[in-house]
Structure 1
Amino acid sequence: MTTRKEEAGPSGLASALVASGALQSEWLPTFRAVPRDMFVPSRIWPGTEAGTRQHPVVDRDKDPDAWLAAVYSNIPLTTQWDDGTHTGDGVGVTPTSSNSQPAMVFGMLSDLDVRDGHRVLEIGTGTGWNAALLASRLGSGNVVTIEYDPQVAKGAADNLRAIDLTPVAIVGDGRLGYPPGAPFDRVIATCSIGEVPYAWIEQTVPGGLIVAPWGTGYGGEAIARLVVGEDGTASGHFTRSSAFMRLRQQRPQRAEHDVYLKGQEWPADGVTSSTTLSPEALDGWVELFAVSLRVRGTFWSVENDEDGEYVVWYYSDDQQSWASIDYKPGATEFLVVQSGPRKLWDETEAAYRWWKEQGSPDFTRFGLTVGPDGQKTWLDRPGNLI
């Protein structure tokens, strides 16, 4: 008979992950050998399975049952805010380190398709759980893990030692890979990127795999699974949606809202029009991802109002263009204002309608090719560039 404690512990999580297909049989012994609780600090901010919000701190010393329940739930656990400067109990501004959602961890490990004897480079050690899973499966000598934040790296090293695993743990810039350990059969990133560092391709054997969360600065993100070719390029489809913290050296630097309006009151010098496309239609993660591939060099934010009304703002990275669209519940037409050389709402609407015309493709129909001259996205096949 299964007890309530077992349901909330490793066995319960394992059963749920196996039932969902996230945890494959070849990884089940490793899951059991590397307890997640050994790689979670005493203070955590649990997320939700859908990744829609994060809760206030859960402290193991104050509420061990709630802490253990969070650890053995299929949710991400934020372990650091604002590069360690936030120390309060509430949520900070930006989550900067975490223990990732178990379903995502094992989904990516499945994408990685490791075999006995493979050497793996991991970018983003975090709490060390993913590195420990790889080291337990492949042997510590076959795993190199890189973490940029010295304090995060120290915590991971302590966790790994406590479970008698000793992968090569480097404190440094993950973009550079680790030339002394190359070549690698596999590279996996546990932080999101907008540009695949070419060093990762150079340090991977032909036929090897690179698995990494990828997305533009616009929004929407997916796991890229790239096969390294003999010609020095890497190419492959996306496998699933994702939501990871950005590689620190690739975090966007964005201007404040007032910079775009140049100190004027809205609508400033904007040109007014209307649209029948509701901004709600662009809320989905795959919609955001698809639009992002055609509307490059942009980002957006939402300004909430009363009674369910809100304004979506679009901005160009070069600070020259902006647009706004007003959403009102029940409306069939929406006010649009655009300013600058780029008509950002027109571009966004055109990109969305293009996605619909292609049959509303999901992430797995999109792909990415990376070479020494840059990267290109495509739909269905590498020759069909976006």
Structure 2
Amino acid sequence: MTTRTEEAGPQGLASALVRAGALTPEWLPVCEAVPRELFVPDRIWPGISDGTRQNALVSRRDDPEAWRAAVYSDIPLTTQWDDGRHRGEGVGTTPTSSSSMPRMVFSMLADLGVRDGDRALEIGTGTGWNAALLARRLGDENAVSVEYDPEVARSATANLRRARRSPTVVIGDGRLGHADGAPYTRTIATCSVGEVPCGWIGQTAVGGAIVAPWGTAYGGEAIVRLTVGGDGTASGPFTRSSAFMRLRQQRAHRPPFEAYLKGGEWPADGERGSTRLPPADTGGWLAQFVIGLRVPGVFWRAERYEGGAYTLWLYATDTESWASADHVPGGSEFEVVQSGPRRLWDEVERAFRWWDGQGRPGFESFGLTVSEEGQSAWLGDPGRSWAL
């Protein structure tokens, strides 16, 4: 549900964020001093508060009141589609830049735990609002932001200039950070990743923090707060659910369905079976996140029918294995077909039942450790981790 403020302005938004517990006393004056509207273009596509759906185009020129109401609502605003190729009035195919939901912006800044004298690196400048907030809090000279898209970077720089802020904005590959400005005591990403780049760890001082949205190929996503150790590793817990656009260089490239049937027609060489676990139980955001932690290299899609029935398709990224599970509302047993060296539904079901047996812990119970050797996840104790 969209959360609108009682006053379409900075004070109204700030009051709503304080009531929600997202805006702390430390960041309140910063929020009030850096109005969001200075960083929002004239054409936007407002979303809903959980980021799952986009509304129609809102134009400042055609409807300034609706535009201002959207800007000062606690919702994400898509500002670019399809890497800038979409220029039309309607919704594009894929959102590729946005002004993030204010509640998430300030929650992540609280997670970052900045202190006076800190130096911050941001990955993903976007509209420039988050960079401006960091610059206002830490000083322009202590904020560096990296943006891959030159057009987005130019617009952000113009927005920052209008707001009288001048952090360093670098056009480049966000995976590489910005070594010329290192070391940083705080690193924050405003795009999601599936692999935390080692460059971020190397450019963040020992004891410093890295805050980033993180998710697996399977689905689900959460904010992770890593603390950099003296041994070149970084480790820490997840803090909250999230839904961000992916770092461009880590976007998923899904093989076509035809790559799995190897020239045959469904069910091809698949083996039929059944399960008592409703496939729908595995579809929640948290359930997807946990399954992704336990079942690497797998993604899914759903083929939906009338009456709420659907087929859950599971695919291994190497195209060697696939599975299908048919969900029928109210059913007690569900047909499963599996093919390939991995029995993907069996893996997904084991992961779900493991999580269920642990009492279905939330995002905050899990953590991540990153090193040059790779990534590992853990539940409760970093000493009891498993490789991803």
TM surpasses 0.5: yes
Residue 151 of structure 2 is matched in structure 1 by: 151
CA distance in 2, matches of 1:365, 1:194: 19
Give 1:309's aligned residue: 309
Give TM-score, length-normalised by structure 1: 0.97
Does structure 1 residue 60 correspond to structure 2 residue 60? yes
1:382 aligns with 2:382: yes
Pairwise CA distance, 1:5: 9.0
CA distance in 1, matches of 2:157, 2:8: 27
Listed as ranges, the matches of 1:290-329 within 5 Å are 290-329=290-329
Per-residue CA shift, 1:181-237, capped at 9, x if unaligned? 111010000000111111111111111000011111110111110011111111100
Counterpart of 2:335, as a letter, is L
Task: Classify the secondary structure of the residue corresponding to 1:350.
Answer: helix
Superposition deviation, residue 82 in structure 1: 1.0
The residue correspondences of 1:209-288 to structure 2 (distance < 5 A) are: 209-288=209-288
Q: CA deviation at 1:6?
A: 5.7
CA distance in 1, matches of 2:274, 2:7: 53
Counterpart of 2:340? 340
Q: Post-superposition, which runs of at least 4 consecutive aligned residues in structure 1 deviate over 6 A?
A: none
Post-superposition offset of 1:285: 1.3
Match of 2:135 in 1: 135
The residue that corresponds to 1:33 in the other structure is 33
User: Distance between the aligned counterparts of 1:44 and 1:266, measured in 2?
Assistant: 43
- Partners of 1:203 and 1:79 lie apart in 2 by 30
Moved more, 79-88 or 142-151: 79-88
Deviates more, 1:265-274 or 1:288-297: 265-274
What pairs up with 1:78-227 in 2 under 5 angstroms? 78-227=78-227
State the Cα RMSD in Å.
1.3
Residues 5-52 of structure 1 show CA distances to partners (whole Å, capped at 9, x for unaligned) of 962322222111101101111101010111111111111111111222
Map Cα deviations across residues 89-138 of structure 1 (whole Å, 9 max, x no partner).
22222111110011100000000010111100000000000000000111
Q: Counterpart of 1:283 in structure 2: which amino acid?
A: G
Helix, strand or coil: the match of 1:302?
A: strand
Measured in 1, the distance between the counterparts of 2:318 and 2:138 equals: 46
Letter in 1 for 2:208: G
**What number of residue pairs does the alignment pair up?**
383
| Offset from partner CA, 1:339-359 (integer Å, 9 cap, x none) | 111111110000000001111
Q: Deviations over 1:30-89 (max 9, x none)?
A: 101111111111111111112221112111111111111111111111111111111222
CA–CA distance in structure 1, aligned partners of residues 146 and 268 of structure 2 = 47
TM-score (norm 2): 0.96
Q: Which amino acid in the other structure matches residue 202 of structure 2? A: E
Work out the CA distance in 1 between the residues paired with 2:246 and 2:70.
Answer: 24
Q: Is the Cα contact below 8 Å between 2:36 and 2:72 reproduced in 1?
A: yes
Residue-by-residue CA offset, 1:312-353 (whole Å, 9 max, x unaligned) = 111000011111111112211111111111111110000000
Q: Return closer, same or farther for 1:92/1:264 CA change in 2, 3 Å cut-off.
A: farther
Question: CA deviation digits over 1:262-314, x for unaligned, max 9?
Answer: 34332222111111111221122111111101110010011111121211111
Q: Which runs of 5+ in 2 are unaligned?
A: none
Range 124-133 or range 253-262, more displaced: 253-262
Distance 2:5 2:124 in 1: 32
Find out whether 1:354 has 2:354 as its counterpart. yes
Return 73-82 or 265-274, whichever deviates more.
265-274
Q: Secondary structure at the match of 2:294?
A: coil
Aligned partner of 2:376: which letter?
Answer: K
Residue type at the aligned position of 2:138 = L
Q: Which amino acid aligns with 1:131?
A: A
- The CA distance in 1 between the partners of 2:15 and 2:188, in whole Å, is 25
By how many angstroms is 1:255 displaced? Answer: 0.7
